[in-house]
Amino acid sequence: QKEVEQDPGPLSVPEGAIVSLNCTYSNSAFQYFMWYRQYSRKGPELLMYTYSSGNKEDGRFTAQVDKSSKYISLFIRDSQPSDSATYLCAMSDTSYDKVIFGPGTSLSVIP
Amino acid sequence: GAVVSQHPSWVICKSGTSVKIECRSLDFQATTMFWYRQFPKQSLMLMATSNEGSKATYEQGVEKDKFLINHASLTLSTLTVTSAHPEDSSFYICSAHTRELKLFFGSGTQLSVL
């Protein structure tokens, strides 16, 4: 079993839709959870960062962490064509020696 | 957010030559930086952890003599691909984390070896 699993997609939605992106993990030592957005041939951009269970909102983005189920989600409201990218979940334990990434979900928002 | 600068963005070189990629943390000090390789439509593959003032830690299967890492200061790490060959062509990305443990990435370097 991989440490972090993520549906690779591709996921295609119409503009304005709510997008739900998800990751599951197996290591209960993970305490820090992140979501990154990566455009083609660019470095990943940090979107959300959290270290506790529950929801964290930033504009159109909401990150949700459920440590008991080892499940994290990223919700995008009112999706825009500019949101079309690959979304990577990432997580780390408290040592932060290594950050583990999911394989990424490719998202296309159709105008 | 914090800024990590990576240079160059693109490099084309002949087979057998060496290429150096720089990664700088512009507004924070980074005792540790990370180097990744990414193939098209695949996720990031950690190559090595760069430690300021000491030797880098390489992941299994990564040739340390092929991919030389130097972390001479708290704001600069370099990756040198030595005697590059076409199979080394890839997208290389660096990252560094702040004291708040947020990980930021450089913009990446596309290496093409002819």
A51-65, A87-101, B6-20: range with lowest mean pLDDT: A87-101
pLDDT in tens, B12-64: 999 999 999 999 999 899 888 999 999 988 889 999 999 888 899 999 999 99
Q: What is the pLDDT of residues A96-110, one digit of tens each?
A: 667 889 999 999 999
Q: Quote the pLDDT of residue B65.
A: 95
CB contact under 8 Å between A102 and B97, yes or no, is no
Please name which of A3, A6, A5 lies closest in space to residue A86, comparing C-alpha atoms: A6
- Look at B91 and A41 and tell me if their CB atoms are within 8 Å: yes
Note the pLDDT of residue B40: 86
Q: Please give the pLDDT value at position A66.
A: 95
- The mean per-residue pLDDT over the stretch A43-54 comes to 92
Residues from B in contact with A at Cβ < 8 Å: 1, 4, 6, 34, 41-44, 46, 49, 91, 93, 95, 97, 101-108, 110
Question: Which long-range contacts (C-beta less than 8 Å, at least 24 apart) are formed by A45-53?
Answer: A45/B105, A46/B1, A46/B102, A46/B103, A46/B104, A46/B105, A47/A74, A47/A87, A48/A74, A49/B102
Write out chain A residues lying below 8 Å of B46, CB-based.
98
- The dihedral built from the CA positions of residue B99, B100, B101 and B102, taken in this order, carries a sign that is negative
Does A98 sit within 8 Å of B46, measured CB to CB? yes
Distance from CA of B1 to the nearest CA of A (A): 8
Whether A99 and B106 lie within 8 Å, measured CB to CB: no
The 10s digit of each residue's pLDDT in B74-95 is 999 999 999 999 999 999 999 9
Q: Across the interface, do A103 and B42 touch by the CB < 8 Å criterion?
A: yes
**A-chain residues near B106 (CB < 8 A):** 43
Helix (H) or strand (E) holding B54: none
Task: From residue A105, give the alpha-carbon distance in Å to each of A10, A22, A89, B98.
Answer: 6, 9, 9, 26
